[in-house]
Amino acid sequence: MSTKAEVSGRIVELLQLVIASSVMTNERIARSMGVNVVDLQALGFIARSGEPMTAGEVSQLTELPTSTTTRVLDRLERQGLIERSTDPNDRRRVVVHLRPGALAGTGTGGEDDPYRSLLEGMRRVHEGFTVAELEVVARYLDAVKEVR
């Protein structure tokens, strides 16, 4: 039987491999979409939000400086992936939202989604685990995502 230290070490090593693989996969997908990887990740945050966001909210989620966030949003808008509009509840605020059809590259699983094969592979892996096991993995990843 393994010790907690041994299993913890194995988890850290595996997470490092997953992170490295994810970085390279996201770089490849970003290139295929004609954007850089930071812009792709910001687009993903906007997509997962499901509602219009201010530039400040995007900056907070991505942990990018506001000046960098502005440049990212400018590039995404030029690419036709997002739109800026006035907040109907407060005309002084500008919000960003996805343009129709921009979801193809954000992990939604549609025909044109560059993440589609990755998502299908993950679904196949999940088939080998019980719901209870997946709940433990989800709880663990939820806790780990806060580590900085």
Instruction: Establish how many alpha carbons lie within 13 A of residue 34's alpha carbon, considering only the half-sphere containing its beta carbon.
Output: 9
Helix axes 55-62, 37-49, angle to 10 degrees: 110
Helix H, strand E, coil C: the string for the chain is CCCHHHHHHHHHHHHHHHHHHHHHHHHHHHHHHCCCHHHHHHHHHHHHHCCCEEHHHHHHHHCCCHHHHHHHHHHHHHCCCEEEEEECCEEEEEEEEECCCHHHHCCCCCCCCCCHHHHHHHHHHHCCCCHHHHHHHHHHHHHHCCCC
Domain range annotation of the chain: 4-114, 115-148
- Note the pLDDT tens digit of each residue in 61-88: 999 999 999 999 999 999 999 999 998 8
Report pLDDT for 45.
Answer: 92
φ/ψ bin of 2: left (φ > 0), alpha (ψ from -120 to 50), beta (otherwise):
beta
Look at the domain 4-114 and name its fold.
Arc Repressor Mutant, subunit A (1.10.10)
pLDDT > 90: what percent of the chain? 68
Pairwise CA distance, residues 55 & 42, whole Å: 11
Is the pTM of the predicted complex or chain greater than 0.85? no
- CA 80 and chain centroid, separation: 19
pLDDT digits over 97-127, tens only? Answer: 998 877 554 455 456 677 888 889 999 999 9
Cα dihedral 11/16/17/21 (nearest 10): 140
At 103 the pLDDT is 59
